[in-house]
Structure 1
Amino acid sequence: MKQIVPRRRFKAFHLRIVIGMLMLALGATPVSSAWAEDELLVADQKGQQKALTQAPPRNVETCLDVLGCDRIDHGYNILADPALTCRCREQGVPFTVCSHTCVSQRMEKRAASLKAMHDAGLFLVPCTDDPPMFGTDIGTTYVTMARILSLGAEEVMSMSLRAIEASWLSAEEKASMTADFQGEIQFLAEMDA
């Protein structure tokens, strides 16, 4: 459930902030962006931060330490800070990442970033971001990620199950979805045998 909360009433809510970081292009920081709008989009009980594709690693650190975010969108430049990369790996911080970009000339760089993040042991969650803009869907995203990361079927299945962990579902909903995924995975494995 998402709701719009006026800034002046924010402290009355014990919710974390979901912030669109498009203002980074104007030189804003994650913190200044959080308060730049008259209203904040708040997600029930969870926090997520868009670190954007070209943002410096310090924005990820700010999102984790100052804003209390528990999931990072994109964050492709995190590897520029080895200590923060190690911290995110050890803490299991999920990074929702896109295998595609709307600029075809950047596909090779995106693939290299995803491979480096995977090789660094970061928790990657494939996503489509804006499917109409990227001309993709979740199936295409997983196929592309498997190709980029040289993943086998077992690794792709594991990645899909881990993605459930990063969701904002309740523990009960996560358990149900995991059981559904495992059933579908077993069905596909039996069909392939």
Structure 2
Amino acid sequence: MTGQSLIQKLPKTELHLHVEGSIEPQQVIEFARRNQVDFPYATVEELIAIYEFENLAGFGQVYRTNSTVLLTRQDFYELTVAYMRRVRLDNVRHVEIAFAPQGASSRGVSPEMALEAVLDGFEATAAELGMTGGIIVGCQRNRGLDDGLKMLEQVRPYRDRIMALGLASMEVGYPPRLFERLFNEAREWGWKTVAHAGEEGPPEYIWEALDILKVDRIDHGVRCDEDPRLMARLAEEQVPLTVCPLSNVYLKVFPSIDKHNIARLLRAGLLVTINSDDPPYFGGYVNENFAQCQTALGLTDEEIVQLARNSFIGSFLDEDARQGYLAEIEAVVAAELNPIAEMNA
């Protein structure tokens, strides 16, 4: 079996995806026209031409410009539905989607309306496609603690439909420790918690996310290999890392995919997963991330299978559902890999 075929057949999850960042260029142009937005780019080609980023801040500027077209309930609903239908083509079966209500607020859009549209779009499409998952409400760390607490109050009416709290946006200058109170409140509500740490920020941010915010999972986390003690802890405690390889290359965290450290982290026993982050900006959805990593880093079929397993192990699924998906993976292995191994014996 070729790597591409195995990747397609394996059920997978996506644990690190920003729904606003899933907007395709054609959607940006369509929504701008529909909403009569004075948008600086008239065609898809003009827009794609600026998708070159020097760093996270440069990407953020384009991201914010594109997000100005997201104004109505229909926009947020269609955006969520389109992402789920697209990623289901990659045999992604479970998604944990991040949405940042503060981004809507900053444009004068009702965060409650936007969140409700995302929730409705997720729930309707999950039922349609037989998928599982949930919504992670993201706090934009550059807006500070007080704004994050305000956002938490705004989403309170939807708390039973929300899976987790996340911490995103630019890391440097906004260490996780600043948001301890926010995360304490989210845990009191019964939510899971995740935080971006160790992408552009140092390994110390990962320590803070674990020890101060007490997160269940680290988003990115790739700079952990600068700290051997942290590497050992992550491996021992099996803290999930939601790694986004193509995103890391596009944002210059690594110079090229063949220099990425995900294979090294996997082989060191860390619970790493593969995700797409903001796929239209970074060159591919989940399967493309898997495929490029396998080609550039020499991942074996067994390692590809382990990454698929990790995606369910690191998810917020209940144990029965998790074991069901893992059994599906083992069925693919039995059907596709074991006969090959027997023929080569």
Superposition TM-score tier, normalisation by shorter sequence = 0.7 to 0.9
Secondary structure at the counterpart of residue 60 of structure 1: helix
Q: Quick one: percent identity of the two aligned structures?
A: 24
* Rg comparison, structure with higher value: 2
Unaligned runs of 5+ in 2: 1-133, 138-150
Work out whether residues 165 and 191 of structure 2, in 8 Å CA contact, stay in contact via their aligned partners in 1. no
- Give 1:52-67 correspondences, 5 Å limit: 52-67=198-213
**Equivalent residue number for residue 22 of structure 1:** 169
Say if 2:257 and 2:296, in contact at 8 Å, map to a contact too. Answer: no
TM-superposed CA distance for 1:181, in Å, is 2.2
Aligned-pair CA distance for 1:119: 4.3
Structure 1: gaps (5+ residues): none
SS in 2 for 1:100: helix
In 1, Cα distance between the equivalents of 2:189 and 2:288? 27
Q: Which has the higher contact order (CA 8 A, sep 6+)?
A: 2
The 1:182/1:43 distance shift into structure 2, 3 A limit, reads: farther
The answer (yes or no) to whether the contact 2:199–2:220 under 8 Å persists in 1 is yes
Distance of aligned partners of 1:117 and 1:139 in 2 relative to their CA distance in 1, 3 Å threshold: same
CA RMSD of aligned residues (A): 3.5
Q: Distance in 2 between matches of 1:94 and 1:133?
A: 24
Between the aligned partners of 1:28 and 1:103, the Cα distance in structure 2 is: 19
In 2, Cα distance between equivalents of 1:105 and 1:79: 13
Hey, what does 1:140 align to over in structure 2? 288
Q: CA deviation at 1:59?
A: 0.8
Query: 2:268 and 2:326 mapped to 1: Cα distance?
Result: 26
Residues of 2 paired with 1:6 and 1:94: CA distance? 28
Report the count of equivalent residues.
Answer: 186
- For 1:184, the equivalent position in structure 2 comes to 332
Provide closer, same or farther for how the CA distance between residues 30 and 95 of structure 1 changes in structure 2, counting only shifts above 3 A.
same
Preserved CA contact (<8 Å) 1:73 1:95: yes
Distance (Å, rounded) in 1 between the aligned partners of 2:258 and 2:286 = 17
* Deviations 1:96-119, CA, capped at 9 Å, x for gaps: 111213247944277333244334
Q: Partners in 2 of 1:61 and 1:136 — Cα distance?
A: 30
Deviation for aligned residue 1:129 = 1.1
Q: 1:43 to 1:136 in 2, by over 3 A?
A: farther
Q: In the aligned structure 2, how far is the partner of 1:138 from the partner of 1:17? A: 21
What is the alpha-carbon distance in structure 2 between the residues aligned to residue 144 and residue 114 of structure 1? 12
8 Å Cα contact 1:126/1:142 also seen in 2? yes
| Counterpart residue type for residue 22 of structure 1 | S
d(CA) in 2 for partners of 1:109, 1:172: 35
The letter of the residue matching 1:181 is I
Letter paired with 2:168: M
Q: Between 146-155 and 183-192, report the one with greater CA deviation.
A: 183-192
Instruction: Tell me the amino acid that sits aligned with residue 169 of structure 2.
Output: L
TM-score by length of 2: 0.46
Q: Which residue of 1 aligns with 2:233?
A: 87
Q: State yes or no: 1:46 paired with 2:160.
A: no
Q: Which string of whole-angstrom CA distances, capped at 9 and with x for unpartnered residues, describes residues 42-87 of structure 1?
A: 9964221111511111111111111111211111211222111111
Decide whether aligned partners of structure 1 residues 110 and 95 sit closer, same or farther in structure 2, where only a CA change above 3 A counts. Answer: farther
The aligned counterpart of 1:77 is 223
Q: 1:89 to 1:100 in 2, by over 3 A?
A: same
With the length of structure 1 as denominator, give the TM-score of the two structures.
Answer: 0.77
